[in-house]
Structure 1
Amino acid sequence: MRVLGIAGYSGSGKTTLVTKLIPALIERGLTVSTIKHAHHAFDVDTPGKDSYEHRKAGATEVLVSSAQRWALMHEHRGAAEPGLDDLLDRLAPVDLVLVEGWKFGDHPKLEVFRQSVGKPMLARDDQQVVAIATDLQELPDLSIPRLDIDDVDAIADFVVEYAKV
């Protein structure tokens, strides 16, 4: 599986780009999965549902299955957060995994940068950034590709070529 991070600061448009990029990559014949990193507590279950009650009661893992999908919830219960490689090992094989978040991870990344967010450009200090999707017209001091943040087809073409899938 090829892995490409979609990295940037909050408000830069990472999720918007990922949700547009997935169908563009699928149209090109690729299978795509995603991993999303959250920096805060989150819940994917609903209080009162059986699966929530199982987890609340102390189960380390709860797997819920139906005719349409299955989901596995894993509680750390005090253990350290797993690394990206550990999480990638849990995915079924696909052509490409897009990783949203882990902006400081040691994997190739496409940076999403908007000057209006007011945060520094990651590519200036991170050699793992292979291209920047941005609303800036020029990146004169960087030698990596600049992609128009609104041109999803061009970004998808870059991703396919870069990942060589």
Structure 2
Amino acid sequence: MRLYGVVGWKNAGKTGLMERLVTEVTGRGFSVSTVKHAHHTFDVDQPGKDSHRHRVAGATEVLLASRKRIALMHELRDEKEPTLEELLQRLGPVDLVLVEGYKRDAHPKVEAHRAETGNPLIATDDPTVRAVASDTALDLDRPVFDLNDTGAIADFILREVGL
């Protein structure tokens, strides 16, 4: 499975870059899936809906299906959080999986960086960060792209994964 990550600190532009990369790469005819790590509790269904009622009642998994999409919710309850590798095994085959977050995992990554956040670069201490997409010029030992140059960033990632 071809895998590439987008990492960065809060408000660095990760989600916007992910969105643009998915549009760019799928526009070139490749299939893409995404994995997004959240550091906080989140909910994808709403109180009062049948799926929410099933989950709150104690169901381990709730599969919601229609003609347009399916959604599988799995309650961890007291289970440990699955690893990225375990999550990837649940995905169907695609040309490329883009991962937002999981900055400590060993897959190759591009770092999104905005100077205004004042956060240090992850890349300086992490060799798995193969390039940086920034809103400011940086002097690094790896490629630096303009954060908004989605085409160049996509070219780099696709070369890196062999597509």
- TM-score (norm. length: structure 2): 0.97
Number of equivalent positions: 163
Match of 2:149 among 141, 148, 151: 151
State yes or no: 1:25 paired with 2:25. Answer: yes
CA distance in structure 2 between the aligned counterparts of 1:8 and 1:116, rounded to whole angstroms = 13
Letter in structure 2 aligned against 1:111: E
CA distance in structure 1 between the aligned counterparts of 2:58 and 2:91, rounded to whole angstroms = 24
SS of 1:12's partner is coil
RMSD of aligned residue pairs (Cα, Å): 0.8
Letter in structure 2 aligned against 1:97: V
SS of 1:71's partner is strand
Letter in structure 1 aligned against 2:22: I
106-115 or 54-63, larger mean C-alpha shift: 106-115
Give runs of aligned pairs for residues 41-120 of structure 1, distance below 5 A: 41-120=41-120
Letter in structure 1 aligned against 2:151: D
154-163 or 36-45, larger mean C-alpha shift: 154-163
Q: Runs of 4 or more off by more than 6 Å in structure 1?
A: none
Letter in structure 1 aligned against 2:10: S
Deviation at 1:138, TM superposition (A): 2.9
CA distance in structure 2 between the aligned counterparts of 1:7 and 1:164, rounded to whole angstroms = 21
Letter in structure 2 aligned against 1:148: D
Deviation at 1:120, TM superposition (A): 1.1
Give runs of aligned pairs for residues 123-134 of structure 1, distance below 5 A: 123-134=123-134
- TM-score (norm. length: structure 1): 0.96
Letter in structure 2 aligned against 1:125: D
Deviation at 1:162, TM superposition (A): 1.1
102-111 or 32-41, larger mean C-alpha shift: 102-111
Deviation at 1:5, TM superposition (A): 0.8
Identity value in percent? 52
CA distance in structure 1 between the aligned counterparts of 2:160 and 2:131, rounded to whole angstroms = 10
